[in-house]
Amino acid sequence: MVVSSVAENVFGTLGTVCWTIQLIPQIWKTYRSKSAEGLSPLFVFLWAVSGPFLGVYVIVQNLNIPLILQPQLFSALSLVSWCQCLYYNRKCSRTVCIMLFVAVAAIMAGFQTGMVFAVRSVYHDGTGNDAALRFFGIFSAVIIALALLPQYYEIYKHREVIGISTMFMAIDLLGGVFSDLSLVFKSNFDVIAGVTYSVVIVMDGLVIISALILNPRAHRRRMYESTIASESATNSTPAMIETASGASRYTGATPREV
């Protein structure tokens, strides 16, 4: 395995950049449409929750600074998207959304800080006990994977990918790829971090593939339904015919009397 601190930090930085801007297309899409229909609020909230767990892991493992910043930015932007879901779809007031953002962010920051000190004291006590650290790394991967299940349900329910930006998914996927590559050039490949980033790649890829397959089908279905509706409306319109006296009258609108 080729070890290169330069390559490690370059790819780590690229991953951080992707995961800094990843949710911006989604946040912009929701803001522009003034709707979060099709975007699962539970999905983005669980992604926000996964951040502190991954944050504890990467900080105690002393990974490069870009990888340490990733979960913090990831959580913050996920919380913004979650608050948008509450504001546009649940009709929560702007004040309530801001208060929820601050409260949840403070709780997660406090949790991460406390767990870093707690896990670090055990991890560096000379006994080689890394069970607690491994738990945080594995649990973050589990949350990230499970978080997309509600979004998959939204896709199943609508039979297409709506509400969620495919650009957001693509950038998020690239973030996972670059983060994995940064670990490749590290002296010791971190398996748990690698699994976490790989899970993101696979789960995001499934959403993108679903959009490529289901969205064209949904478009054709809507076009077909629109055509049928137009033909039905045309057929139900009373026809105007010319009488022998030159006057016009409507036919076909009333039932025949017997």
Each residue's pLDDT tens digit, 181-239 = 988 888 788 887 788 788 889 988 999 999 999 999 988 888 888 888 777 777 765 55
Domain membership of residue 121 (yes or no) is yes
47 in a domain, yes or no?
A: yes
pLDDT at residue number 191: 83
| Domain annotation covers residue 134 | yes
Does residue 251 fall inside a structural domain?
Answer: no
Please indicate, yes or no, if residue 238 is contained in any of the structural domains.
no
Where do we find the tokens 């080729």? Answer: 2
**For residue 44, which of 90, 88, 75 has the smallest C-alpha distance?**
75
- Report yes or no on 164 lying in a domain: yes
Residue 182: name the closest of 32, 70, 38 by CA: 70
Q: Is position 89 within any domain?
A: yes
**Domain count across the chain:** 1
Q: Kindly state whether residue 252 falls inside one of the protein's structural domains.
A: no
The series of mean pLDDT values per 10 residues for the chain, 258 residues long, is 78 82 88 89 92 91 82 91 94 95 96 92 70 84 85 88 86 89 84 82 90 90 82 65 49 46
The boundaries of the domain holding residue 81 are 5-221
Considering only CA atoms, which of 173, 124, 168, 144 is closest in space to residue 71?
Answer: 144
The number of residues in the chain equals 258
- H helical segments located in 159-258: 166-184, 191-235
The pLDDT value recorded for residue 226 is: 81
